[in-house]
Amino acid sequence: MARGRRPRVSSTPGEGEPAKPTAGRHFMISVVAKSYNIHPQTLRLYEREGLLRPSRTEGNTRLYSEEDLEQLEVILNLTRDLGVNLAGVEIILNMRRKMERMQQEMNQFLAYVKEELMRSNQEGWQERFQQALVKLPPTHIVRATVGDREPV
């Protein structure tokens, strides 16, 4: 490992392997660098740090998809406009991915709850609800004392 570089941490299986280009528009590194007014070496650094994952051709040429360009715009916004360093960018991007995953899980959960409510409406939920309630005797409130003072 080169001096001063952080080891790559793979968060998804096969992350270290170059991705194959998918359908859609793809751009070479020189086009992307000119479009965003950055040096191609900066794009390579972002890839080395794991912030971007461009696909590769069989000749190992980097191809940036529309999704990669959106990610690059976020990175450039954080670094140029907000002054965030690359370590901070990595943390922010990881948190965004986690939030998106949590949002998907929440949407799935809400869909499940909605299905269950619809099903319970069709099956007479009121009767089941009355039967499911557990009756508890009333509890007595106990007042705590603090030291030698009166009960609170």
CA distance 19 to 28: 14
Name residue 27's beta-bridge partners: 64
Q: What pLDDT is attached to residue 147? A: 65
The torsion angle over the Cα atoms of residues 39, 89, 95 and 18, rounded to 10 degrees, is: 30
Instruction: Count other Cβ atoms within 10 Å, centred on residue 130.
Output: 8
CATH class, range 26-99: mainly alpha
The full set of domain ranges for the chain reads 26-99
Q: What pLDDT is attached to residue 131? A: 65
Q: What pLDDT is attached to residue 10? A: 42
Residues of the chain with pLDDT under 70: 1-22, 123-138, 146-152
Q: Quick one: tokens of 81? A: 């406009």
pTM: 0.63
CA distance 61 to 51: 18
